[in-house]
Chains A and B, each alone.
Chain A
Amino acid sequence: MSSIAELLWAEKYRPKSLDEIVNQEEVVTRLKKFVEEKNMPHLLFAGPPGTGKTTAAHALAHDLYGENYQRYLLELNASDERGIDVIRTKVKEFARSRVPGEIPFKIIILDEADNMTADAQQALRRLMEMYTATTRFILIANYPSKIIEPIQSRCAFFRFTPLRKEDVIARLRWISEQENVQYDIEALEVIYEISEGDMRRAINILQAAAALGKVTVEAVYKVVGLAHPREIKEMIKLALDGRFTDARDKLRQLMVEYGLSGIDIIKQIHREIFSADLKLPEPLRVLIADYAGEIQFRLAEGGDDEIQLNAFLARLVLVGKKLKA
């Protein structure tokens, strides 16, 4: 028993400096150059979730400014800030304060920058130019293609790739040892498979499984099953059974009670399509998966969550009807 306060492991074991980051060697090598030179351009970090983009940005700032780096860092999340005006005000205020002696600039991390509208990105571009003497931006995005050309051309580009299996497992083992967690090595492998190279997810699953007791394959599946509401499966079955409005009720429950976004739901549906619980002729799985992909694309394009998923459910009703005939 340690301190009475416990933290989430994804945060507790987040690498503090570039040296501690085990993956993304190419990225880390280039970032260390900036630390040596005590200078850097604007940066664009792109890659899938849980590959260390935010961690790398913090580690870079840490290595540049030392332990108290937070003072020289402004962290914004584009999807949580209310509009570009709020961002502008915060940047303006932050840029006004003094820069550290040795390094002539401060750092602004803008996470989920690809969620900004094109107009907001244009405004951001102007901001970047306006304060370029005293600040550097690190823009973080899942999809770099959603960042407008003029911003891309002003940033050094860094691509983050999904973590390798051995690295994820080594990290999970190490955390387990720090926390005195009992585990089966197979369970860690299953965690890797499920998390698909997303370190944040992997560590979260580990912590939740550990809270149930020994981390076994069963415990991992239990956690993942619990985290994926059974309503998803029920919803699919209802739709295939031709009961559209009942399926839609489940969908609303998922959105309103669980607070899941359309993208979260369609991703979970995608996982279910190929599960053995769902009795479907194999070719139909492919058909449905294809349509799920189309819906996910439309959601990313900005379509309304419920309308897009209802279109998907209506398609399932149709598939179900043909199946019975």
Chain B
Amino acid sequence: MPTKELPWVIKYRPKKIADVANQDKAKKEFIEWLTAWLHGKPSKKAALLYGPPGCGKTSMVEAAAHEYGLELIEMNASDFRRREDIERVAKLAATQMSLFGSRRKIILLDEVDGISGTADRGGLNAILELIEITIHPVVMTANDPWDTKLKPLRDASKLIAFNRLTETVVARVLSYICKSEKIECDDKALRYLAKLSDGDLRSAINDLEAIARGYGKVTLDLVKALVRRRDREYSPFEALRNLFMSKYAWQAKLAVTQTNIDYETMMQWINENLPNQYSDPEDLWRGYEALSRASVYLGRIKRTGNWDLLSYVFDMMGAGVALARMKSKYRWVKYSFPQRILLMSKTKQVREIRDALARHLAAKLHVSSRIVKSDYIPMLQIIFVNNPKYAARIAIGYNLTENMVKYLAGPRSNEVLRYIRELKERGVPEEEKKEGERVKRTRRTSGRSGRRSSGKGTQTQLPF
């Protein structure tokens, strides 16, 4: 590819650490850390560069590789989701010499804060292992390193902070590029571009290139007409609008990825608003069918750790949903916040009691709390609502709290609670005590021997 066709973010990326815009403190710390590595003992085997997007973290590593003649082994968050992947690629790279001679390497793990949740726990551990065994410098980047799940990484790394670039710095770089490219530009336009970029130099350069290539010049009017705030800043409302207005598959895919919420939350927004948008039952069904497929792909990803499937999630929740509209026309509708999220917070207290009850019983009944909820709680509710006296004895048997009793007994809570108090105060009368002990013994030896003699043939009496 001839140089002139390289995207500018690549063409103008710094070749030496000194060329990186600003970040003097970070530069100094990084150079110190890297030289320590190259001369033997580093303080920490890994460095974690953190700061807002487009402020030069990755550029600094690339520049360092270039300047020190290191082979850059780069991995993106999506590559090392799976432990196998990191073991295969990174450890090999770290512990074996390069095929052609002994050129030293530097390993870059970009966007480690992209590792999320329990599904990636293996990935996190793999990185920690990598740091432990590596014979090459390991550099990680992150926007937000303060997430608790990243604590082990923070502990294992030298932390190097990058600051958000100021408008002046961003504008200066843009101006330099315009001069090199011999593009006519006006300072106000560059200043405005810099302002919109929010300190993200990468996005500013991309915007600059888009306008310059399209119009051959960069004026304030063009910038105002063409550049919006960054893609990721679309609110879910805007994203939904973009999605449902999409005529092409690519537009729809873009719409669901360019939002300031994560894709799982975006799914909930689509789930909420599909029936508002699609009035025709067939469109509605096709839309939900596509969303359903998207959520199945996501489920498979979570189960198997196969993040390659992620693009199918976007295919289905984006293109699949947007192109489901075949019968009705696009119309403006008001979108609403996912009710499910609201409902969950409103009913939080009740759900907490129910979950506590489920966990409490799960331990005693040797089943999961899910089974308690589906199999036991409905039956307990029947007993508690219909037979408070008997319910009281079960409540005592399982040491249920007042809230748990109230949850199970509903309108008859007071009766059940009164019986519980009475039973506890009265205690167990002498003859009943013996009976109770015998019940325990029977439980232990249990079996089908049917030791109990009392009650045989008196089936007309209720036990309680």
A residues sitting closer than 8 Å to B (CB atoms) are: 1-8, 10-16, 19-20, 22, 49, 54, 58, 67, 75, 77, 79-80, 82-85, 111-112, 117-119, 122-123, 174, 176-183, 200-201, 204-205, 207-208, 210-214, 223, 226-228, 242, 244-245, 248, 252, 256-261, 264, 295, 298, 301-304, 306-308, 310-311, 314-315, 317-318, 321
Q: Which 5 A-B pairs have the closest CB atoms?
A: A302-B299, A3-B436, A6-B393, A227-B378, A311-B292
A7 to B291, CA, bound (A): 44
A182 to B368, CA, bound (A): 32
Question: In the bound complex, do residue B462 and residue A3 qualify as a contact, i.e. CB atoms below 8 Å apart?
Answer: no
Q: With an 8 A cutoff between CB atoms, is B285 at the interface? A: yes
Question: In the bound complex, do residue A260 and residue B373 qualify as a contact, i.e. CB atoms below 8 Å apart?
Answer: yes
- Report the nearest A residue to B81, measured CB to CB: A119
Q: List 22 A-B contacts (CB under 8 A).
A: A3-B432, A4-B393, A7-B398, A8-B380, A11-B364, A54-B367, A80-B359, A118-B303, A177-B450, A177-B456, A182-B462, A205-B379, A211-B464, A257-B347, A259-B358, A260-B373, A301-B303, A307-B295, A308-B295, A311-B289, A317-B281, A318-B285
Question: In the bound complex, do residue A79 and residue B370 qualify as a contact, i.e. CB atoms below 8 Å apart?
Answer: yes
How many A-B contacts at CB < 8 Å in the complex?
266
* Neighbouring B residues of A242 by C-beta, 8 Å: 281
Known A83-B121, A178-B452, A208-B383; further 4 A-B contacts with Cβ < 8 A = A84-B118, A117-B304, A226-B381, A314-B288
The B interface, classified by DSSP as helix, strand, loop or mixed, is: helix
A6-B390, A307-B267 are contacts. A83–B118 as well, Cβ < 8 Å? yes
A179 to B461, CA, bound (A): 10
Q: With an 8 A cutoff between CB atoms, is B229 at the interface? A: no
A314 to B442, CA, bound (A): 53
Q: With an 8 A cutoff between CB atoms, is B443 at the interface? A: yes
| Nearest Cβ on chain B to A207's Cβ, whole angstroms | 7
Question: In the bound complex, do residue A119 and residue B452 qualify as a contact, i.e. CB atoms below 8 Å apart?
Answer: no
Question: In the bound complex, do residue B445 and residue A16 qualify as a contact, i.e. CB atoms below 8 Å apart?
Answer: yes
Question: In the bound complex, do residue B374 and residue A264 qualify as a contact, i.e. CB atoms below 8 Å apart?
Answer: yes
* Neighbouring A residues of B380 by C-beta, 8 Å: 8
* Neighbouring B residues of A16 by C-beta, 8 Å: 444-447
| Nearest Cβ on chain B to A215's Cβ, whole angstroms | 10
Question: In the bound complex, do residue B359 and residue A15 qualify as a contact, i.e. CB atoms below 8 Å apart?
Answer: no
- Report the nearest A residue to B120, measured CB to CB: A119
* Neighbouring A residues of B439 by C-beta, 8 Å: 2-3
| Nearest Cβ on chain B to A322's Cβ, whole angstroms | 9
Q: With an 8 A cutoff between CB atoms, is B148 at the interface? A: no
Most chain A CB neighbours (cut-off 10 Å) among B303, B343, B355: B303
* Neighbouring A residues of B435 by C-beta, 8 Å: 1-3
* Neighbouring B residues of A244 by C-beta, 8 Å: 275, 281, 284
- Report the nearest B residue to A10, measured CB to CB: B365
Question: In the bound complex, do residue A308 and residue B393 qualify as a contact, i.e. CB atoms below 8 Å apart?
Answer: no
A178-B452, A180-B461, A302-B296 are contacts. A8–B371 as well, Cβ < 8 Å? no
Most chain A CB neighbours (cut-off 10 Å) among B118, B347, B432, B440: B118
Interface residue tally on B, bucketed by range: 35 or more
| Nearest Cβ on chain B to A63's Cβ, whole angstroms | 13
Question: In the bound complex, do residue B284 and residue A207 qualify as a contact, i.e. CB atoms below 8 Å apart?
Answer: no
Question: In the bound complex, do residue A2 and residue B302 qualify as a contact, i.e. CB atoms below 8 Å apart?
Answer: no
- Report the nearest B residue to A81, measured CB to CB: B368
A205 to B302, CA, bound (A): 36
Question: In the bound complex, do residue B432 and residue A259 qualify as a contact, i.e. CB atoms below 8 Å apart?
Answer: no
Question: In the bound complex, do residue B271 and residue A178 qualify as a contact, i.e. CB atoms below 8 Å apart?
Answer: no
A318 to B275, CA, bound (A): 13
| Nearest Cβ on chain B to A48's Cβ, whole angstroms | 13
A209 to B83, CA, bound (A): 52
Q: With an 8 A cutoff between CB atoms, is B27 at the interface? A: no
Question: In the bound complex, do residue A49 and residue B382 qualify as a contact, i.e. CB atoms below 8 Å apart?
Answer: no
* Neighbouring A residues of B267 by C-beta, 8 Å: 304, 307
Question: In the bound complex, do residue B367 and residue A77 qualify as a contact, i.e. CB atoms below 8 Å apart?
Answer: yes
A177 to B453, CA, bound (A): 10
Most chain A CB neighbours (cut-off 10 Å) among B284, B292, B365, B381: B292
- Report the nearest A residue to B287, measured CB to CB: A314
* Neighbouring B residues of A10 by C-beta, 8 Å: 365, 376
A16-B445, A182-B462, A211-B386 are contacts. A111–B366 as well, Cβ < 8 Å? yes
Question: In the bound complex, do residue B344 and residue A302 qualify as a contact, i.e. CB atoms below 8 Å apart?
Answer: no
| Nearest Cβ on chain A to B227's Cβ, whole angstroms | 35
A85-B121, A205-B379 are contacts. A307–B284 as well, Cβ < 8 Å? no
| Nearest Cβ on chain B to A22's Cβ, whole angstroms | 7
Instruction: From A2, A119, A183, A264, give the contact of B436 (CB < 8 A).
Output: A2
Give chain B interface residues in 373-426, CB to chain A under 8 Å.
373-383, 386-387, 390-391, 393-394, 396-398, 423-424
Q: With an 8 A cutoff between CB atoms, is B460 at the interface? A: yes
A254 to B335, CA, bound (A): 24
A148 to B364, CA, bound (A): 29
* Neighbouring B residues of A118 by C-beta, 8 Å: 303-305
Question: In the bound complex, do residue B397 and residue A259 qualify as a contact, i.e. CB atoms below 8 Å apart?
Answer: no
A13 to B447, CA, bound (A): 8
* Neighbouring A residues of B368 by C-beta, 8 Å: 77, 79-80, 111-112
* Neighbouring B residues of A211 by C-beta, 8 Å: 382-383, 386-387, 390-391, 464
Question: In the bound complex, do residue A298 and residue B464 qualify as a contact, i.e. CB atoms below 8 Å apart?
Answer: no
- Report the nearest A residue to B426, measured CB to CB: A4
Most chain B CB neighbours (cut-off 10 Å) among A5, A11, A201, A258: A5
Q: With an 8 A cutoff between CB atoms, is B119 at the interface? A: yes
Most chain B CB neighbours (cut-off 10 Å) among A49, A117, A245: A117
